[in-house]
Amino acid sequence: MTRIISVYGIIAGVIVAIGMWLGITFVPKGGSAGLVVGYLSMLVALSMVFVGVKQYRDVEKGGVIRFWPALGVGIGIACVAGLFYVLAWEVYLYSSGYTFFENYFADYVRDTVKSMTADGKSAADIAKFKAEMASFKEQYANPLFRMTITLSEIAPVGLLVAFISAALLRNSSFMPAKAAG
């Protein structure tokens, strides 16, 4: 089981890290395209959860697995992929001299203040927003806080894929193992 979690977790982690790099490199900043590419790359990477659980069921468990063990394997694979995701983000931030977040933060605050002004928000509301964002920026500088935020991006997707995989693969007639021959 540990081998399957490691192998498929690493494969998923490499895929999600490459997806992150592609998204940062080729997707224009702003808009929802970055979110779509990011979560799509997570889903593609986390398809390894399904593959890993199926491999575990078919090879190590003789084609039969209960929900909870399947879920455990799926969550294990998702955790390894999540670790790669967090490490890839930290490596990117470090290699960019932490300018990505500085630029993103400045653009986000500028655009939001512009929108708030257009919507007729008061100066007090705008000042409150700026103070909240400055506080978040300070918190984000803390690596443990930042890593927790980063992990919270991929964790729900990993849990969802693990639950779906366990629910489907507990039924031994769903995509049964092919007999050798």
Average pLDDT, the chain: 93
- At residue 154, the pLDDT reads 97
pTM for this model (two decimals)? 0.90
Task: List pLDDT tens digits, range 40-54.
Answer: 999 999 999 999 999
What does the alpha-carbon distance between residue 120 and residue 24 come to, in Å, rounded to a whole number?
A: 33
C-alpha distances in Å from residue 22, one per residue of 27, 34, 38, 155: 7, 10, 9, 20
- Report how far residue 99's alpha carbon sits from residue 11's, in angstroms, rounded to the nearest whole number: 29
Q: Residue 112 CA to chain centroid, in angstroms? A: 25
The domain ranges of the chain are 2-169
Percent of the chain whose predicted confidence (pLDDT) is above 70? 97
